Chains A and B, each alone.
Chain A
Amino acid sequence: MSTTSFSELELDALREIANIGSGTAASALSSMTGVSIDLAVPVARALPLADAVDALGAPEEQAIAVVLPVSGDVPGLMLLVFSPASSRVLCGLLGVDPDSEFAASALGEIGNILGCAYVGALGTMTGIEFDPAPPQVVQDMLGAIASSAFVAALGETETALLLDSELKFEDAECGFACIYVPSQDGVHEVLARLGLGG
């Protein structure tokens, strides 16, 4: 099975999707916090599972992640990855004590808003119905979070397509990654709706 490769044109289209999705998500977060959010150009890459985990960062590093499984016509996974420092900044913007029990639920809510804005934009663009499930917030080794989330959401796949967007807070030296991982079949459905592949 050669499901691992995408043409440059397809990757361009997927980058554009990520751009629109994360742009919508960033403006949702921006209007909620009153802080402007910078958005780097997203990266789209199809990687073998082990490489996909490594691509997110050092696997043993402590990270806080909000994980949103996405069901519907195109199942997949949305992953927001915060360093401990960036989660403190975000909690601060929301007026929540980062050491309190409310920190996780605040981050979960952020995940919910970003995830819904992101896949909502994808849905509008493609006419596909995406259905984000309630977020789960975990603090653990980055590699453990990523590998388990990929396996739970994607099942038996050799590769993961990462649509990786980097969001940065204005005036703060940190940000977080917003990563959308559609299932293999789902990617082709999305591309087909955009008039590519099929």
Chain B
Amino acid sequence: MVRMGELAVSRTPDAVLVSLGLGSCIGLALVGSGVAGLAHVVLPESPPAGASGTPGKFGDTAVPALVAELAKAGAPRSGLRAVLVGGAQMFAFGSSGDIGGRNEAATRAALAEAGIPVVAACTSGSTGRTVRVHVGSGRVVVKEAGSREVELFSGRLAA
């Protein structure tokens, strides 16, 4: 279970990393060979004072933090593929506009900087979503509110 602002990495074959009920938040899945990570991004940019121990919370810090954790688990950056879920605009209020859209943009920018391709995404719109990452197979599935689970990424890391 990866909750708001958290990130997790696993190489346990039958483990499933999950973030339930993503709204404007982004579920950032990075899939390698037999290893996967998931971050639950809440806001696009970390404050000037730094991410204060919760790098998973911000789009700009979640990518490097997750890449570093995956490297520790033996997954080189070059073999990683990204899948993005969430970033919806649930409400038309708030001083900072479309937070979901900005979360996605910041996360994509950080992925581009890290040279990690985004192979699938289920983002924007106005519905909540749940993402599940099957660590062993690398399969990523998404479930939108009131509908069935859909496969976003098969997990096969063909170039």
Binding site for B on A (CB under 8 A): 49-50, 53-54, 59-60, 62, 67, 69, 133, 136, 138-149, 151-153, 155-156
Tell which of A54, A155, A156 has the most Cβ of chain B within 10 Å.
Answer: A156
Given contact pairs A144-B90, A144-B128, A152-B91, A60 touches B20 in the complex (Cβ within 8 A): yes
Instruction: Give chain B residues whose Cβ lies under 8 Å from the Cβ of A153.
Output: 93-94
Closest 3 CB pairs of A and B: A143-B21, A144-B128, A148-B23
Complex Cα–Cα for A147 and B26 (A): 11
Question: Measuring CB to CB, which residues of chain B are less than 8 angstroms from any residue of chain A?
Answer: 3-6, 20-25, 42-43, 47, 88, 90-96, 99-100, 127-130, 143, 145-146
User: CA A74 – CA B128 in complex, angstroms?
Assistant: 29
Q: Is the CB of A50 within 8 A of B4?
A: yes
Complex CA distance for A67 and B93, rounded to whole angstroms: 10
| A140-B5 contact, Cβ under 8 Å, with A145-B128, A156-B43 | no
Residue from the set A69, A136, A144 with the largest chain B CB neighbour count within 10 Å = A144
**A69-B93 Cα distance, complex, nearest whole Å:** 7
Q: Tell me which residues across on chain B come within 8 A of A60, comparing CB atoms.
A: 20-21, 130, 143
Q: Knowing A50-B3, A53-B4, A141-B145 are in contact, say whether A148-B20 is a contact too (CB < 8 A).
A: no
A53 to B128, CA, bound (A): 14
User: When the two chains form the complex, which single residue of A138, A142, A149, A151 contacts B42, counting CB atoms closer than 8 Å?
Assistant: A151
* Residues on the A chain within 8 Å of B43, using CB: 151, 155-156
B20–A59 contact, CB under 8 A?
A: yes
Q: In the assembled complex, which residues on chain A have CB atoms less than 8 Å from the CB atom of B23?
A: 140-141, 143-145, 147-148
Residues of A within 8 Å of B20, CB to CB, are 59-60, 141, 143
B93 touches A144 (CB 8 A): no
**Which B residues touch A141, using CB under 8 A?**
20-21, 23, 128-130, 145
Chain A minimum-CB-distance residue to B97: A152
Q: Taking A59-B21, A140-B128, A147-B4 as given, write out 4 further A-B residue pairs in contact, using a Cβ cutoff of 8 Å, ordered by the A residue number.
A: A133-B93, A140-B23, A145-B128, A149-B90
Contact A54-B3, Cβ < 8 Å, known A62-B146, A144-B90, A147-B24? yes
User: A148 and B91 in contact (CB under 8 A), knowing A59-B20, A60-B20?
Assistant: yes
Question: In angstroms, how far is the closest chain B Cβ from the Cβ of A146?
Answer: 8
Q: In the complex, what distance in Å separates the CA atom of A37 from the CA atom of B119?
A: 52
**Chain B nearest CB, measured from A65 CB (Å):** 10
Contact of B127 among A136, A140, A142 (CB under 8 A): A140
User: In the complex, are the beta carbons of B100 and A148 less than 8 A apart?
Assistant: yes
Nearest-CB residue, chain A, relative to B128: A144
Measured between beta carbons, the chain B residues less than 8 angstroms from A147 are 4, 21-25, 42
Residues from chain A with Cβ under 8 Å of B91 in the complex: 67, 69, 136, 138, 148-149, 152
Q: Which residue of B lies closest to A53 (CB)?
A: B4
List, in ascending order, chain A residues with CB within 8 A of B100's CB.
Answer: 148
